[in-house]
Amino acid sequence: MYNVKYMKMKAVLMFFLLLFVVAGCGTSTIRYVNPTANFSYIKKVAVLPFNNLSDDRYAGERIRNTLTVDLMSRGVFEVVEQGEVTKVLGVIFREAGVEEGRAVTVDKETLKLIGEKLSIQAVILGSVDEYSGGGYGGGNVVSVAMRMLDTNSGIVLWQAKTTETSKSILRKLIGIEEVDRSELTRNAVKNVLDTLL
């Protein structure tokens, strides 16, 4: 009798544990590290503006700001102040005749110029693929892709993509509050940087 009760209780606990693991907050991260990359020469980096493919007008700046702070707190690289990066990019693109506000492809020559003007060895840039909340099915979603490029050669040294979501069946069933986008943003940036540093 005791064994049957114990087995039933164990089965119920295993079911809820499995449900929690399957239905909890989701994270999906993939990465690439160039096998020939030598990160030891990189002392100073710049975080370029992110392409914003989401419906949230400020998502790119939110990700960029969070990334900059996280990078600085890790102390691995010196990070150029964002205002200085924006100023230098403005000069470079103005000289190239690119209209302000237009999406710009950073080619090898532009990367080299950015590297020289900012005295950096690498840039980090990327895109915000999704930055949404609520809607049908509920839940917040933050999806970002980032890459580090060598400013001298233009070679991709590292690239990663992550998606953080608070969509959860379990959260709905037991009434746990949604994870807000600010927390998902911090988690997404941390998860991506953890694949590099």
pLDDT of 106 reads 81
pTM flag (> 0.85): no
Report the share of the chain in percent with pLDDT over 90.
61
pLDDT of 23 reads 41
Residue 22 amino acid letter:
V
Rg of the chain taking only CA atoms, in angstroms: 21
| Angstrom distance (rounded) from CA 181 to CA 139 | 9
Query: 10 Å Cβ neighbour count for 46?
Result: 27
CA distances from 145 to 8, 29, 124, 164 (A): 45, 10, 10, 12
Domain architecture of the chain: domains with CATH: 24-194 (3.40.50.10610)
* Span 16-38, average pLDDT: 69
Spatial contact of 156 and 34, defined as CB atoms under 8 Å apart: yes
pLDDT digits (tens, 9 = 90+) for 173-189: 555 556 678 899 999 99
| Angstrom distance (rounded) from CA 98 to CA 104 | 8
| Angstrom distance (rounded) from CA 20 to CA 123 | 39
For 115, the token pair is 């590297």
Spatial contact of 122 and 148, defined as CB atoms under 8 Å apart: yes
pLDDT digits (tens, 9 = 90+) for 39-70: 999 999 999 999 999 999 999 999 999 999 99
Please indicate whether residue 129 or residue 2 has the higher confidence score (pLDDT): 129
* Span 186-197, average pLDDT: 92
- Does position 89 have pLDDT exceeding 50, yes or no? yes
Residue 78 pairs in a beta bridge with 44
pLDDT of 180 reads 78
